[in-house]
Amino acid sequence: MSSPRISARGIRWFIALLVVSSSVLALMFWNPWVKREDYTPSAAIYDPLSEGGVGFSAECSDLFKSAGYDVEVCSGGDVTVGGLKATPPGVDVLILRVHSSVYHGRVWFFTGETYRQEAYVLEQLLDEVHPARPSVGSDYLFAVGADFLLHYLDDSFDGTLVVLMGCDGLSSTDLAVAFIEAGASAYVSWDGPVSLEHTDRATLVLLRLLVEERVRLDEAVDRAMAEAGPDPDYGSSLKFTPEDAGSLVLGPSS
């Protein structure tokens, strides 16, 4: 009796079945939208307003580290245009303790790098970076905006919570939209001017709620405003966007 032969078509169907089965098994054990319980969360703190990661940055770093986060701190003049281009992708939380302002209807945040006309010529021509100064009489610094983010950091913020501590971060939505389009899960900032002292206080309250108590983002923002209050001089409040990010909870899924 001759042995049964398997046709070429049968072999192709068998191989296809193996591929599909393997894919189904892989999806059962891996979901790119849910972080595993054994992963190590990370935070990056960019603080051109202080040198050496002292004060707010040190307190903020300790808070994250005590919760098991890997933390990177970049401060003072080390916060440069080139350094921002090299922002590590996929951090869980990005803290920007920066000056920021609205210019021609768009939000720009300041680096710690002194402005030089001959530097970043292409970026200047494309209006991705801009000279800006925190106050009358101070030195000009490089500031970056939404177009800079979308050009150099597109898809770099996969699931990142961005907290921009400076003035007017949500007086216009262009910068927030750019972060969201680059993958950020949510963007938190002020809807007007804010003093450095007040944003430090309110942001630390917010982060303790998010990192230590692991409350939802919408609850954390509400409670931070209830405790710290609007800015006493300008009346500005902390907001977040997009609205459907209110259910965001930091850390691994339970």
Residue 50 resides in a domain:
yes
What does the pLDDT read at residue 27?
A: 38
Q: How confident is the model at residue 136 (pLDDT cuts 50, 70, 90)?
A: confident
Confidence band for 162, pLDDT divided at 50, 70 and 90: very high
Residue 132: inside a domain: yes
Question: Taking the CA of residue 38 as centre, how many other CA atoms within 13 Å lie in the half-sphere pointing to its CB?
Answer: 0
- Tell me what pLDDT residue 39 has: 79
Identify the band that residue 253 occupies on the pLDDT scale cut at 50, 70 and 90.
low
Q: What pLDDT sits at residue 14?
A: 52
- How far apart CA 171 and CA 8 sit, in angstroms, is 65
Tally the C-alpha atoms within 13 A of residue 128's C-alpha that lie toward its C-beta. 19
Within-domain flag for 119: yes
pLDDT at 29 over 50: no
* Per-residue pLDDT at 249 exceeds 90: yes
Residue 18 lies in a domain: no
Structural domain of 166: 41-247
Query: At 55, which CATH number?
Result: 3.40.50.1460
Report helix, strand or coil for 94.
strand
| Helix H or strand E encompassing 59 | helix 56-66
Q: Is residue 45 part of a domain?
A: yes
Tell me phi and psi for residue 44, to 5 degrees.
-125, 130
d(CA 152, CA 86): 9
Mean pLDDT of 211-223: 97
What is the per-residue pLDDT for 54?
80
Assess if residue 70 is contained within a domain. yes
In a domain, 22, yes or no: no
Evaluate whether residue 23 is within a structural domain. Answer: no
pLDDT at 34: 42
Into how many domains does the chain fold? Answer: 1
- For position 1, what pLDDT does the model report? 44
Inform me whether the pLDDT recorded for 38 exceeds 70. no
Residue 46: pLDDT above 70? yes
Per-residue pLDDT of 6-27, as tens digits, reads 555 555 555 555 544 444 444 3
